[in-house]
Structure 1
Amino acid sequence: MKQQDVKPQSNTQRAIEAMRQMIFAGDLPAGSDHLESELAEQLGMSRTPIREAALTLEGQGLLEMRPRKGVRILPVSPDDMREIYDVLTELESLAAKQAAKRRPSHADLAPLAKAITDMDAALAAGALEDWADADERFHKELVRLGGNSRVRMIVNMLSDQVRRARMITLHMRPIPVKSNEDHRAVFDAIKSGDGDQAHIIHRAHRQAAKDLIVGLLEKHKLSRV
């Protein structure tokens, strides 16, 4: 696509991205309250795109809008994460199975392989944030390879909340060597066309991730404000 054909982001899109990153970075911490006027001044925008962005982020479970009180950044709830991981476990495992059945080409599998290579490199370098980014790419590519647009849509709706919980607990968890091994095993099963094996491995992987994340949230009471 030519450079002149790229449409600039609207103020609302810029506000969504900026506020999302501020929530993930902890600049807008869980339980904090913020007036629309405060956020508008901080981001150098009018209140209208801030309000529209807040509506979008409310739908993604990151904040709630309160009349005459602005927005409140929602905590990460262990109960919410249990439900989210239960949904993701089933949908992503289905995607893994369907991806294997579709027998993707070497080119189709390349982004998935690259994510695994990047995860291994990140662990070797002790760069957990880079590992988390590559891990997120792996799961997105897995769902893409499954070829079900509705599965992809639902997973995308939940991805922000999963990312937030993962980043909160990232430096509390054991080094995720087993996670990398699981990813490679899923990749190998997809590559060989073994849908049942891809489903079994990925389902166990996601269930283990749920137990780990929820356990850390409960142990450290990270959902409290």
Structure 2
Amino acid sequence: MVELVRADISDAGVKRGSLVDEAYAALKQAIRDTVFAPGYQGSEQEIAVRLGMSRTPVHEAIIRLQEDGLVRVLSKRGVLICPLAPQDIREIYEVVIAVESMAAELLAVLSDAARATVADELEAATTAMEAALARDYLPGWAEADDLFHRLLVERCGNGRLRRIAQTVTDQAHRARMLTLKLRARPIGSAQAHRLIIAAVRAGDAGEAHRSARAHRVAARDEIVPLIEHIGLRQL
């Protein structure tokens, strides 16, 4: 009987954890895609209703997202989706530049077989970007571009780099989505990606680092001045 109770408790814990993970993933994606725009403020119940989920897992997901820096819980005033100022975007890109250039360098020193596998994954994401751009489907382009950059870090073998990247890449993605229709058509991204891929395939760590850094520096130098030029005080 005691063992049955323990099993029930264990099953309940697993189910609860799963619901929280689902709520976390759903709310995080909604923030990334600006379904909940920067500066949005609402109650936990309102957010739960919009997500089609119950309040308890959403409450726990919000606590986790506050640790990620994506939301802020306001005493008696609900939840705020944290806006980003131009200086925030600049700082985020500085972290992304450092992390991704190091990740590319680490990829280039993997074994031949591992490098080939990662390079194929990166190539597939880049091809998907080009296909979406050919259809003028910018959200699809952004999704494939985001996958490329996530793979770059996730496959490098350094768990700490991956954890550092997790929050800042979510914030960089939000800036990218909000400025997507204001920027020039992103025709050069695929070519920049292929320079990184070629360096990884060749095992050239120095060139992989340089190519990844140059690519993200170019993105920063396009997005931040654009935000400042159009007078956006926050995203």
Return the match for 1:198 from 208, 212, 215. 208
Helix, strand or coil at the partner of 1:221: coil
* 2:67 is equivalent to residue 67 of structure 1: no
Structure 1 runs (4+) deviating above 6 angstroms are: none
- 1:3 corresponds to: none
In structure 2, the residue matched to 1:123 is 133
- 2:225 partner letter: G
* Other-structure match for 2:219: 209
The equivalent of 1:82 in structure 2 is 90
Q: Which amino acid aligns with 2:131?
A: A
Aligned residues: 220
Q: Per the alignment, do residues 72 and 8 of structure 1 end up closer, same or farther by CA in structure 2, a change over 3 Å counting?
A: closer
* Structure ID, larger Rg: 2
Would the aligned equivalents of 2:102 and 2:209 in 1 still touch at CA under 8 Å?
yes
* Mapped partners of 2:233, 2:112: distance in 1: 40
Q: 1:92 aligns with which of 97, 100, 104?
A: 100
Kindly indicate whether the alpha-carbon contact (under 8 Å) linking 1:34 and 1:70 is maintained by their aligned counterparts in 2: yes
Conservation of the 8 A alpha-carbon contact between 2:16 and 2:57: no
1:1-80 paired onto structure 2 within 5 Å: 10-80=18-88
Deviation for aligned residue 1:25: 4.1
8 Å Cα contact 1:76/1:222 also seen in 2? no
TM-score, normalised relative to structure 1: 0.88
Deviation sequence 1:161-207 (CA, Å, 0-9, x none): 11111110111111112221110011111111111111111111111
Q: Quick one: structure 1 residues 122 and 62, their matched pair in 2 at CA, closer, same or farther if it must change by over 3 Å?
A: same
Corresponding position of 2:146: 136
Equivalent residue letter for 2:72: E
Q: More displaced, 8-17 or 102-111?
A: 8-17
Match of 2:79, SS state, is: strand
Distance in 1, matches of 2:49 and 2:132, equals: 37
Aligned mates of 1:224, 1:89 — CA distance in 2: 21
Shift of 1:130: 1.1
Post-superposition Cα deviations, 1:138-175, rounded to whole Å, max 9, x if no partner, equal: 11121133221111111112221111111101111111
Identity %: 41
Inter-CA distance 37–103: structure 2 relative to 1 (3 Å threshold): same
Could you tell me which amino acid in structure 2 is paired with residue 49 of structure 1? Answer: P
Which range is displaced more, 99-108 or 133-142? 99-108
For 2:175 and 2:142, the matched residues in 1 are separated by: 11
CA contact (8 A) 1:75 1:223 kept: no
1:186 and 2:196 matched:
yes
Question: Tell me, what secondary structure is at the counterpart of 1:176?
Answer: coil
Q: Deviations over 1:95-142 (max 9, x none)?
A: 111211224423332211101111121222211111111111111121
Q: Structure 2-normalised TM-score?
A: 0.84
The question of whether the paired residues in 2 share the 8 Å contact of 1:36 and 1:70 is answered with: yes
Q: Which residue of structure 1 aligns with residue 6 of structure 2?
A: none
Letter in 2 for 1:37: Q
| Structure 1 counterpart of 2:7 | none
Residues 44-76 of structure 1 deviation map (CA, whole Å, 9 limit, x = unaligned): 544322221111121222221011111112212
Residue 164 of structure 1 is matched in structure 2 by 174
The alignment status of 1:146 with 2:144, answered yes or no, reads no
Flag the 1:125–1:42 CA change in 2: closer, same or farther, 3 A.
closer
The 1:58–1:183 alpha-carbon spacing in structure 2 relative to 1, beyond 3 Å, is same
